[in-house]
Amino acid sequence: MDDLYRDYILEHYRHPHNFGIIEAPDARYEGANPLCGDRITMMLGIRDGVVAEVAFTGRGCAISQASASLLTDEIKGKSVDEVAKLTAADVLDLLGIEISPARLKCALLSLDTVSHALEERGNLAAGASADAGAGTAMDAATTAGA
């Protein structure tokens, strides 16, 4: 079963969904993992409180890029409020494989980046939801020695 999930991750890495640019995004943020050099820019097109379009660019390891691909599929068509409530556990469930503490920051970079994009746009009440969800996940990864 692990091989099936590894193939799934590699497929999203080699052929990422929603990879590209939105010309005039409503929300945009570039996130980075300085420990390994992963970089992701998330762009969101928001219409009537719903993520109507989503795209990302970036480079990095298979986990960070597959995570971004999977997350973009997950958030497209969801309300901004639903996206803001996504947690680290939700992203790890999307990946479907065990992530070591050293790779946790890679796996959660896309969630952290989306959360910051929404926070900068002002869609979160005082930014608390994104910082609480994504920040805690990123802090946990740091604490774990990532």
For 28-39, what is the mean pLDDT? Answer: 94
For the CA atoms of 106, 23, 128, 84, what is the dihedral angle to 10 degrees? -70
Looking at the predicted structure, is the pLDDT value of residue 17 above 60? yes
What single letter denotes the amino acid at residue 48?
Answer: D
pLDDT tens for each residue of 48-101: 999 999 999 999 999 999 999 999 999 999 999 999 999 999 999 999 888 999
Q: Find the CATH number of the domain harbouring 89.
A: 3.90.1010.10
Higher pLDDT, 82 or 145: 82
What is the 8-class DSSP label of residue 23? Answer: S
Domain that holds residue 16: 2-143
| Counted domains in the chain | 1
Residue-level pLDDT at 6: 80
pTM of the full predicted structure? Answer: 0.81
Residue whose C-alpha is closest to residue 118's, from 107, 132, 129: 129
